[in-house]
Amino acid sequence: MRKSFTTQPALFATHDLLDHPALSALDEIESLIDWRALEPLLPLGKGNTGRLGYPVLTLFRALLLGLWHDLSDVKLEAQLARDLMFRKFCRLELDQGVPQASTIGRFRLALEKSRRLEAVLAEINAQLSAANVILQEGRVAIVDATVIEAAQSGIRKNDPEAGSHVKVNAKGKMQAKWGYQAFVNCDEDGFIFATTMTPGNEHEIKSLTRLLDGREDMLFADSAYSSQKIRDWMAEHDIKDRVQRKGYRNRKLSPEDRARNVEIGVTRGRVEAIFGHMKRLWGMARSRFMGLARTHAQFQIAAIGWNLQKGARFRQMFG
pLDDT for the residue numbered 211? 92
User: pLDDT below 50 — which residues of the chain?
Assistant: 47-52
**For 229-266, what is each residue's pLDDT tens digit?**
888 988 988 999 999 998 877 788 888 989 999 999 99
In the chain, % of residues over pLDDT 90: 61
pLDDT for the residue numbered 158? 77
Delimit the domains of the chain by residue range.
10-114, 135-318
pLDDT for the residue numbered 1? 53
Of 3.10.20.440, 3.30.420.10, 3.40.50.1970, 3.40.50.300, the CATH number of 135-318 is 3.30.420.10
pLDDT for the residue numbered 8? 54
Indicate the pTM of the whole model.
Answer: 0.90
**For 33-87, what is each residue's pLDDT tens digit?**
999 999 999 997 554 444 448 999 999 999 999 999 999 999 999 999 999 999 9
Buried b (16+ CB within 10 A) or exposed e, 101-114: bebbbbbbebbbee
